[in-house]
């Protein structure tokens, strides 16, 4: 019965992944079409310039909301964007362009939402570096990007959810110490079932009764980190709502950790299975076909982890934003009345997708953790 449930969950997750990727693609296409539309409109009809400016660009709106940025945009009020400025940290190899200093820390408000340059830096609007901080030469031309370790919206979002994560887990740890040998209380009640679930349903079956303990801290941190960030991403009010787990850099680091732990803990049997698997000799010599396949599998596993989480969360955010932006698309195409008329349907769909995202948040955190555990299990399993 449990195995069946698991199989169904995994199947569901996989189908969601496919669906998510489809939706992501769809989002991109939409963005592109909208971009070209507004572009051509501008070119063809100069008289309606004012209209083009007022017109709602759904693609930009959606992509702006799901992508990383240097300030935390909340809303526009009468044409002025309201946003929380975030620190920008840059290291330039050409200090002569920036008052002779190589290392720069300043708030993103200095850029005035990307409209002005500061100290030889600017948020680029060119095709090559779009949205990134670029260095400008004396003449004001873009010459490339400095080393950019700014606290962007994503990083700020991570920090916010890390605070929550630390608070949750430390509260549980303190309660666990206090209630030693007693019934759990408070937040302990919320976290312990999940901890038990990770231990008994994920770590133990995947890694094995004797070795699972070593990996528990990582699996728990991973699960709670992904889960909390997934949830925070669904709450649209700062300091939440940053698309953290839908950022491929974030999922890449998570996958790298899994990869590193798998590789470090890989035992003799694991490496033998990769370099010298039990297959007919002609699959290994003269062309080492199976070793190549196995080795590519080693790389593919974390890569798939990275893409799965990224694509799912990104797709969830994209589609919610697309449904919301539909209101404004209708509004700008057929007038405010139509936009208002379309809003209940849009909101209904958005709410539905958000609820689905709550489910997906759980599933993705679970799948990432389960697959990591499976990889650890593979790395540490003895010859069978």
Partner 1 sequence: MGLVMPNPGTIFWMLIIFGIVLFVLTKFAWKPILTALKEREDSIATALNSAEEAKKEVAGLKADNEKIIAEARREKEAILKEAKELKDKIVAEAKEKAGEEAQKSIAQARQQIEAEKTAAINDIKKQVAELSVSIAEKVIRKELSNKAEQEKMVDGLIDDIKLN
Instruction: Report the relative pairing of strands 133-136 and 121-123 from DSSP bridges.
Output: antiparallel
Residue 117 vs 151, nearer CB to partner 1: 151
- The answer to whether 223 and 365 are in contact (CB under 8 A) is yes
Q: 87-91 and 147-148: which strand pairing?
A: antiparallel
Is-contact 313 287, C-beta < 8 A? no
- Toward partner 1, which CB reaches closer, 97 or 187? 187
Please identify, using beta-carbon distances, which residue of 301 and 317 lies nearer to partner 1.
317
- Give Cα separations from 191 to 46, 48, 187, 194, 195 (angstroms): 60, 57, 6, 5, 6
What DSSP line would sit under 190-242, residue for residue? HHHHHHHHIIIIIIHHHH-TTTHHHHHHHHHHHHHHHHHHHHHHHS-STTS--
- Please tell me whether residue 152 binds partner 1 under the rule CB under 8 A: yes
Contact yes or no for 328/58 (Cβ under 8 A) = yes
Does 172 bind partner 1 (CB under 8 A)? Our answer is yes
From the list 79, 100, 140, 181, which residue makes contact with partner 1 (rule: CB under 8 A)? Answer: 181
Contact between 379 and 208 (Cβ < 8 Å): no
Contact pattern from residue 184 through residue 223 relative to partner 1, giving x for each residue in contact according to CB under 8 A and a dash for the rest = -------xx--xx--x-------------x--xxx-xx--
For partner 1, give the closer residue by CB, 231 or 330: 231
Q: Is residue 255 within the footprint of partner 1 (CB under 8 A)?
A: no
Closest CA to 304 of 22, 18, 3, 11: 18
Binds partner 1 by CB under 8 A, chosen from 149, 279, 283, 299: 149
177 touches partner 1 (CB under 8 A): yes
Binding residue for partner 1 (CB under 8 A) from 36, 45, 112, 170?
170
Torsion of CA 322, 324, 325, 329, to 10 degrees: 120
Here's the x/- map for partner 1, 308-347, by CB under 8 A: it reads as ------x---------------------------------
Site map (CB under 8 A) of partner 1, residues 54-93, x = contact: ---------x--xxxx-------------------x----
Q: Which residues of the chain form contacts with partner 1 (CB under 8 A)?
A: 63, 66-69, 89, 130-132, 147-152, 154-155, 158-159, 162, 165-166, 169-170, 172-173, 176-177, 179-182, 191-192, 195-196, 199, 213, 216-218, 220-221, 225, 247-250, 252-254, 256-257, 314
């Amino acid at each position: 019965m449990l195995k069946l449930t698991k199989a169904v969950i995994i199947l569901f997750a996989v189908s969601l992944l496919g669906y998510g990727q489809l939706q992501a693609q769809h989002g991109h296409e939409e963005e592109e079409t909208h971009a070209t539309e507004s572009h051509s409109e501008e070119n063809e009809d100069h008289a309606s310039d004012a209209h083009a400016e007022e017109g709602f660009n759904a693609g930009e709106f959606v992509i702006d909301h799901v992508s990383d940025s240097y300030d935390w945009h909340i809303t526009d009020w009468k044409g002025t964007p309201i946003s929380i400025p975030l620190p920008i940290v840059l290291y330039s190899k050409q200090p002569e362009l920036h008052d002779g200093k190589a290392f720069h820390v300043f708030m993103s408000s200095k850029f005035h939402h990307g409209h002005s340059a500061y100290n030889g830096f600017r948020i680029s609007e060119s095709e090559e570096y779009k949205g990134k901080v670029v260095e400008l030469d004396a003449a004001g031309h873009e010459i490339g990007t400095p080393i950019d370790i700014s606290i962007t919206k994503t990083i700020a979002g991570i920090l916010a959810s890390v605070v929550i994560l630390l608070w949750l887990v430390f509260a549980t740890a303190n309660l666990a110490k206090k209630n030693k040998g007693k019934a759990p209380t408070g937040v302990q009640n919320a976290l312990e079932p999940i901890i038990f679930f990770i231990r008994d349903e994920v770590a133990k079956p995947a890694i094995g009764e004797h070795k699972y303990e070593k990996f528990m801290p990582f699996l728990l941190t991973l699960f709670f980190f992904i889960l909390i960030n997934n949830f925070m991403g669904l709450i649209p009010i700062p300091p939440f709502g940053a698309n953290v787990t839908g950022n491929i850099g974030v999922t890449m680091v998570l996958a790298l950790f899994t990869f590193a732990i798998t590789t470090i803990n890989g035992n003799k049997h694991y490496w033998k299975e990769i370099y010298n698997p039990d297959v007919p000799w002609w699959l290994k010599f003269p062309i080492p076909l199976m070793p190549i396949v196995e080795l590519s599998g080693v790389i593919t596993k974390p890569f798939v982890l990275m893409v799965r989480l990224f694509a799912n969360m990104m797709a969830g955010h994209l589609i919610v934003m697309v449904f919301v932006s539909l209101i404004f698309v209708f509004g700008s195409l057929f007038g405010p009345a139509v936009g208002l008329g379309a809003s209940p349907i849009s909101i209904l769909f958005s709410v539905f997708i958000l609820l689905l995202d709550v489910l997906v948040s759980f599933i993705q955190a679970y799948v990432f953790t389960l697959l990591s555990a499976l990889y650890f299990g593979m790395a540490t399993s003895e010859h069978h």
